[in-house]
Amino acid sequence: MSTAATVSVPITSSNLRLPSSITSPSSFSLINPFKSSSSSFPKLTTTTSLIRNPNFRFSVSAMSVAAQETLSQTAFLDRRESGVLHFVKYHGLGNDFIMVNNLESMEPKVTPEQAVKLCDRNFGIGGDGIIFAMPGSNGTDYTMRIFNSDGSEPEMCGNGVRCFAKFIADLNNLHGRQSFTVHTGAGLIVPEIQDDGKVKVDMGEPVLKASDVPTKLPANKDQSVVKAKIEVDGVNWNVTCVSMGNPHCITFGGEGDENLVVDELNLADIGPKFEHHAMFPARTNTEFVQVFSRSHLKMRVWERGAGATLACGTGACAVVVAAILEGRSERNCTVDLPGGPLEIEWREEDNHVYMTGPAEVVFYGSVQL
Ligand SMILES: N[C@@H](CCC[C@H](N)C(=O)O)C(=O)O
C-alpha cells in the first residue's frame, strides 16, 4: 500500500466541501506531513477522499479525527497543532520506521521515552524504530539518527537508510535516480534510489576486529572472531562477529547441528539470550542463517533493542560477510528474510558492502506528543 503515491489533488476552495457555517478553507488547520521551512517541499495536497463526508468527518490518511460541532472541530484541530508530531511511516521489507522531518535542528523532536510510546504497536503508531532526517554534518547532505523501539540509539540501520533516502526524495519532490550522502553513527553511508525505485546502499566496510565489534570473545582469525564457540542456554553455537557500524553475531548452527533450519527456531526464547550475553558489551543483533546455495541464504534476526523483526539490512550485510569468512558463500548473495529478499555484495575491489532492496511509504499522519 502506498498512500503518498495517491496524494494528488490540491486542496482548493472548489474541491473543499465546507459546511455552510465555515466559509473559508483558511479556518482549518490541516496537517501537511511534509511541512518544513526548507525549500521546495510539495504543496499541501490530499486525495479526493480526504474530505468526502458531508457529516464533517475528516480523514487525514490513516489518522482520522471526528467531531460533531463545526466550531469545536476547528478549535480541536487548532489545539492539536501545538506539540503535534508529523510523521510518515515507511517500511523496508516489513522493518518499519516512523520517519520524522528534523531538518531544522540537530536535536531530535522526540525523546527516547517518547520513541518507546510511539513505536508501541497497541498504544502508539507502531514501528521497529523512529528515524530523524537531520541537517548534514561532516560535509554530508544529511544526518540520520535512529531510536530503536526500546528507546536505545543504534549507530546504523540498513533498511532505515533506504527508507531515509525515499523520505528525502518525497520531501523534496524528487523523482528518478537520486543519490545522497548521509552521516550516521557508522560514518558515511551513500544510498542511491535506482530507476526501478529500489535503493542501493553503499554500506561501507565491515568491521571485524573483535574489540571494535564489540565482542569479548577471543579473536581466532587475525584480530577477528570467525566460527568461534559460544555457549548460550546450555548449547554450544558457532558464531562469527561482524560490525556494520552496529554489532552482529551470526550463526549457521552449533555443535551437532551445523545446518540450521531457521523456521524451527524459537527466536523469542533464544534471541534475548544472545542479545544480553556477557560476551557482547554493547548487546548484539543476532542472525540465524540457513544456506540454500553459495549465492542464496535465508536468515531470521533478533534485533538489539527491537526483538524479532521482519528484516534487518545491516544484519543481511553482516550475514554475507560472515558466510564469506566461513567459506560458505560467494561475494554476491540473495538473502531471504521473513519480509522478503535483499541483494548483498561484499565487493573485493573496495572492501565495501552493497545492499539493494525496496523501501515504501505505509501511511502518514500526526500525533500529539
Ligand atoms: N533493522 C535495522 C537495524 C536497526 C538497529 C539495530 N536494532 C541495532 O540496535 O543495532 C537494519 O535494517 O539494519
From the list 119, 249, 312, 333, the catalytic residue is: 312
157 is catalytic: yes
Whole-angstrom Cα distance, residue 240 to residue 221? 10
333 is catalytic: no
Q: Say if ligand 1 is within 6 A of residue 287 CB.
A: no
Q: Is the pLDDT of residue 132 over 80?
A: yes
The set of cell numbers assigned to 49 is 477522499
Whole-angstrom Cα distance, residue 36 to residue 367? 17
Report the atom number in ligand 1 closest to the C-alpha of 283.
9
For residue 166, CA distances in Å to 10, 311, 329, 361 come to 22, 18, 31, 8
DSSP per-residue string spanning 4-53: GGG--EE--TTT----TT---GGG-----TT--SSSSPPPPEE-TTSEEE
Q: What are phi and psi of 308, to 5 degrees?
A: -70, 120
At 154-186, the pLDDT tens digits run: 999 999 999 999 999 999 999 999 999 999 999
What residues pair up with 240 in beta bridges, in sequence order? 250
- Quick one: DSSP state of residue 331? S
Whole-angstrom Cα distance, residue 11 to residue 205? 47
Residue with cell 486542496: 11
Average pLDDT estimate for 249-278: 95
Q: Say if ligand 1 is within 6 A of residue 157 CB.
A: yes
Distance 158 CA to ligand 1 centre (A): 7
Q: Say if ligand 1 is within 6 A of residue 228 CB.
A: no
Q: What are phi and psi of 294, to 5 degrees?
A: -75, -5
From the list 157, 163, 241, 249, the catalytic residue is: 157
Distance 197 CA to ligand 1 centre (A): 22
Return the beta strands (E) in 108-165 as ranges: 129-135, 142-148
Whole-angstrom Cα distance, residue 320 to residue 369? 40
Quickly state the pLDDT bin for 258 (edges 50, 70, 90): confident
From the list 284, 272, 217, the residue with the least C-alpha distance to 248 is 284
At 34-81, the pLDDT tens digits run: 444 333 333 333 332 333 333 323 333 433 333 344 545 556 555 556
Q: Is the pLDDT of residue 333 over 90?
A: yes
Distance 333 CA to ligand 1 centre (A): 20
- Res 256: pLDDT: 78
ipTM of the shown complex: 0.99
Is the overall model pTM greater than 0.90, yes or no? no
The set of cell numbers assigned to 148 is 530503536
Are 144 and 302 within 8 A, CB to CB?
Answer: no
Distance 20 CA to ligand 1 centre (A): 51
Report percent pLDDT > 90 for the chain: 76
